[in-house]
């Protein structure tokens, strides 16, 4: 991953960003440009057309993406393996669903594992800015904008606490959002970085509330699962006229799919 120095580039790097500070982060750019990416790429495409005498570039992006993913074999990577059956279950149980991610473990994995069949079906806050709490209210917005599609909010036990009260609004508006809560007892990503750096843990092993009781207090359907079959059953029995919180016990899940 780029932000932890585990990603290297063999070729030359051209970076385009509106924020000049981003151009100097993580990877050294051979050519750095402060500009809007969309307009820059349009100009680049026009220049390529001129150089090619009007002939279209051969893209075949779908095949190249498939080949790259096959070569990476992310499903066999120990870091991602537990999440493969999770997204397989979501794809099978909720075809065409919109996924909306908070900053949490399932979203980090989804950025590498999920390929949606249509545009605007996966968006998230895992961009390095740490916008914890984004997932639930953004999923509600997606449900309002696309009421005919199922919507899943990927959240963690730490981040969801920033906006958990939005469950009240989801219940009142009868939004059928599935709140998929990955419960790993705190801020796992930061906790791991601290451990790897030999830093004493601080503020990452938080005391989580009883999410089942909280959801019930808002009038929201809720259940707890620990394996893919339990997740599939929970989705199958979700209400059609309101939200449902599905809490995944991360430790139980990891043991079940190991």
Q: Any idea where the domains of the chain sit in the sequence?
A: 2-51, 74-257
Do 110 and 87 touch, CB atoms closer than 8 A?
Answer: yes
List per-block mean pLDDT (blocks of 10 residues) for the chain, which spans 258 residues: 60 91 86 93 79 63 82 84 95 96 92 90 80 94 97 94 96 98 84 83 84 97 98 97 97 94
Is the CATH number of domain 74-257 3.40.50.970? yes
**What integer pLDDT is reported at residue 11 of this predicted model?**
85
Tokens in use for 35? 């500009």
Q: Which residues contact 135 (CB under 8 A, 6 or more apart)?
A: 100, 101, 102, 104, 107, 124, 125, 153, 154, 155, 159, 160, 163
Under 8 Å between Cβ of 23 and 40: no
Q: Residue 182 in contact with residue 160, Cβ under 8 Å?
A: no
The confidence score (pLDDT) of residue 128 equals: 65
- Nearest C-alpha neighbor of 181 from the set 234, 130, 145, 141: 234
Q: How far apart are CA 242 and CA 207, in angstroms?
A: 28
Residue 54: per-residue pLDDT: 56
């Amino acid at each position: 991953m780029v932000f932890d120095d585990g990603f290297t580039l063999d070729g030359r790097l051209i970076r385009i960003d509106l924020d000049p500070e981003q151009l100097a982060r993580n990877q050294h750019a051979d050519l750095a440009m402060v500009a809007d990416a969309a307009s820059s790429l349009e100009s680049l495409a026009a220049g390529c057309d001129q150089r090619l005498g009007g002939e279209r570039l051969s893209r075949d992006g779908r095949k190249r993406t498939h080949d790259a993913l096959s070569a990476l074999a992310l499903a066999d990577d120990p870091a991602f393996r537990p999440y493969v059956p999770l997204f397989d279950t979501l794809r099978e149980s909720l075809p065409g669903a919109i996924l909306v991610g908070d900053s949490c473990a399932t979203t980090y994995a989804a950025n590498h594992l999920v390929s949606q069949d249509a545009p605007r079906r996966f968006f998230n806050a895992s961009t390095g800015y740490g916008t914890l709490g984004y997932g639930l209210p953004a999923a509600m917005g997606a449900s309002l904008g696309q009421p005919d599609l199922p919507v899943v909010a990927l959240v963690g036990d730490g981040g969801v606490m920033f906006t958990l009260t939005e469950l009240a609004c989801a219940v009142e508006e009868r939004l059928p959002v599935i709140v998929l809560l990955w419960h790993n007892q705190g801020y796992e990503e930061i906790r791991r970085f601290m451990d790897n750096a030999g830093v004493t843990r601080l503020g990452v092993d938080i005391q989580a509330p009883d999410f089942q009781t909280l959801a019930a207090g808002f009038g929201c359907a809720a259940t707890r699962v620990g394996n893919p079959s339990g997740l599939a059953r929970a989705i199958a029995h979700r209400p059609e006229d309101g939200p449902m919180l599905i809490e995944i016990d991360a430790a139980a899940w990891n043991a079940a799919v190991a």
